[in-house]
Amino acid sequence: MIYFDNSATTKIDRRVVDVMLPYLYESFGNPSSKYYSLATTAKNAVEEAREQISLLLGCEVDEVIFTAGATESNNMIIKGVMELYGGDNPHLVIGKAEHSSVLETAKYVESQGVKVTYLNVDRYGRVNLEEFNDCLSLSPTLISIQWGNNELGSINDIEYISRRCEEEKVFFHTDATQVVGKIKISLNEIPVKFLSCSAHKFHGPKGIGAAIIRKDTLGIRTKIAPLIHGGGQENEYRSGTHSVHNIVGFGKAAEIALSEQPDAADILEQLEKNLKSKLVSMFSEVIHFNSDDHNKIPGIVNIQFKGINNELLIKKVSDRVAISTGSACSSSKPSHVLQSIGLPLNEVRNSVRVSLSKENTIEEIDEFCSFLSGK
Ligand SMILES: *Cc1c(COP(=O)(O)O)cnc(C)c1O
């Protein structure tokens, strides 16, 4: 089986599994329990993972809040900021190409009385910066713009966007789920206030992620209303017993990504180039790339095969190759991301996403291409 759906999830790294296993069996303690060694061992493991994640993101250790994944982080930050800071005129700004976990959260708070502005995106899914700047002058409560797009791979200029938000004293959140572990991130150098990410998108376990909540310039924690109430874990931001084995795996995946990311990016760029040039030479009459060539996450390619239904194509190759129409979450509906970049529905229905990982090979690309051509 050739796995080309790495934007949906990635295969867990063997080294990650190895460090997780002891915390499922021998070291099963609850890190919130006290005094005995089973508890302190678990607590220390959680704190070591927190440090590994802070190193990957270039933020402070105590700015890392563990959640069950990026969907939860996006919900927690958007709802938690709107609830605490919305006041009489709550106003949320998001891009039209956001992941459904941001988009649907925005629709929910809209149904609860929040004004939501949806920023248009360009033909590759990057937010229109003129509209963004116009919105800033309205002093919205929160602006949420993804760092990298999960269907097109396009990267927004988060350094510029976060700086403008800071200048205008507007809270800024970015869903960085697709870029964490894939591009260099250094939060201490840019004023991103809130960030969401998830371990399973970079060879970690599923069901674990983080909400990064930055401290203010005086070093004081930024408060948001919690989404989940209970025992007060994670400094009251997120109650519930820590998923220790998942947290340990998340930390290890972060450590591996930090040391291997530059090499992985090189491999992915080579694979992407190779794939695109082969596809162009084999299918020049019917092929069009929806994704950009530059300023993107390496390895994500969105391809239109004119006149060929995407679901049928995916089914046809599914015995040997895993590819997708786009987001795993909305596979039954035509992609809102591709609609947001202006594609008519017939072109959306001819589009498939190939998302590679550093573990893929040129041989797999060859096999995929010859399989597509019916050989
Ligand atoms: C996968 C993904 C999510 C959701 O992450 P989960 O941890 O699976 O909830 C959110 N945003 C983006 C951009 C994603 O790619």
Mean pLDDT along residues 29-57: 97
- Alpha-carbon Rg for the chain in angstroms: 21
* Of residues 120 and 331, more confidently modeled: 120
pLDDT digits (tens, 9 = 90+) for 320-345: 999 999 876 655 789 999 999 999 99
371 class by beta-carbon count within 10 Å (0-12 exposed, 13-18 middle, 19+ buried): middle
Measured between alpha carbons, how far is 155 from 222 in angstroms, rounded to an integer? 27
Task: Looking at the CA of residue 149, tell me the nearest atom of ligand 1.
Answer: 13
Q: What's residue 328's pLDDT?
A: 66
Q: How far is the CA of 210 from the centre of ligand 1 (A)?
A: 11
- The residue whose CA is least distant from atom 9 of ligand 1 is 71
Question: Given pLDDT bands bounded at 50, 70 and 90, which one contains residue 364?
Answer: very high
Whether 69 is in the pocket of ligand 1, judged by its Cβ within 6 Å, is yes
Whether 201 is in the pocket of ligand 1, judged by its Cβ within 6 Å, is yes
Q: Note the pTM of the prediction, 2 decimals.
A: 0.97
**DSSP string over 175-187:** E-TTTBTTB---G
pLDDT at 167 exceeding the cut of 80: yes
Q: Of 135, 165, 197, 329, which residue is the catalytic one?
A: 329
Nearest Cα residue to 126 out of 154, 158, 94: 154
- The residue whose CA is least distant from atom 2 of ligand 1 is 177
Q: Is 329 a catalytic residue?
A: yes
Whether 31 is in the pocket of ligand 1, judged by its Cβ within 6 Å, is no
Nearest Cα residue to 277 out of 309, 315, 303: 303
Q: How far is the CA of 147 from the centre of ligand 1 (A)?
A: 12
Measured between alpha carbons, how far is 306 from 351 in angstroms, rounded to an integer? 8
Q: How far is the CA of 95 from the centre of ligand 1 (A)?
A: 16
pLDDT digits (tens, 9 = 90+) for 150-159: 999 999 999 9
- Structure tokens that stand for 216 in this block: 């203010």
The residues, ordered by sequence, that sit 6+ positions from 216 with a Cβ below 8 Å of its Cβ are 222
Q: How far is the CA of 203 from the centre of ligand 1 (A)?
A: 13
Q: What's residue 366's pLDDT?
A: 96
Q: Please give the share of the chain, as a percent, with pLDDT higher than 90.
A: 95
**What average pLDDT does the chain have?**
96
The torsion angle over the Cα atoms of residues 310, 123, 160 and 175, rounded to 10 degrees, is -20
Whether 178 is in the pocket of ligand 1, judged by its Cβ within 6 Å, is yes
pLDDT digits (tens, 9 = 90+) for 196-243: 999 999 999 999 999 999 998 889 999 999 999 999 999 999 999 999
Mean pLDDT along residues 80-85: 98
Task: Looking at the CA of residue 148, tell me the nearest atom of ligand 1.
Answer: 13
Instruction: Indicate the pairing of strand 209-213 with strand 64-67.
Output: antiparallel
Q: What's residue 329's pLDDT?
A: 61
Whether 73 is in the pocket of ligand 1, judged by its Cβ within 6 Å, is no
Whether 99 is in the pocket of ligand 1, judged by its Cβ within 6 Å, is yes
Whether 204 is in the pocket of ligand 1, judged by its Cβ within 6 Å, is no
Measured between alpha carbons, how far is 252 from 49 in angstroms, rounded to an integer? 7
Q: What's residue 326's pLDDT?
A: 80
Nearest Cα residue to 334 out of 317, 312, 351: 351
Choice from 77, 147, 178, 331 to test ligand 1 binding pocket (greatest atom count within 8 A of CB):
178
pLDDT digits (tens, 9 = 90+) for 94-109: 999 999 999 999 999 9
- Structure tokens that stand for 133 in this block: 């700047």
253 class by beta-carbon count within 10 Å (0-12 exposed, 13-18 middle, 19+ buried): buried
List of domains in the chain: 2-8+261-373 (3.90.1150.10), 14-256 (3.40.640.10)
Question: 3-state class of 35 per DSSP?
Answer: coil
Could you say which DSSP state residue 324 is in? B
Q: How far is the CA of 35 from the centre of ligand 1 (A)?
A: 37
Q: How far is the CA of 70 from the centre of ligand 1 (A)?
A: 5
Task: Looking at the CA of residue 68, tell me the nearest atom of ligand 1.
Answer: 7
With vertex at residue 155, the alpha carbon angle to CA 224 and CA 141, rounded to the nearest 5 degrees, is 25
Whether 70 is in the pocket of ligand 1, judged by its Cβ within 6 Å, is yes
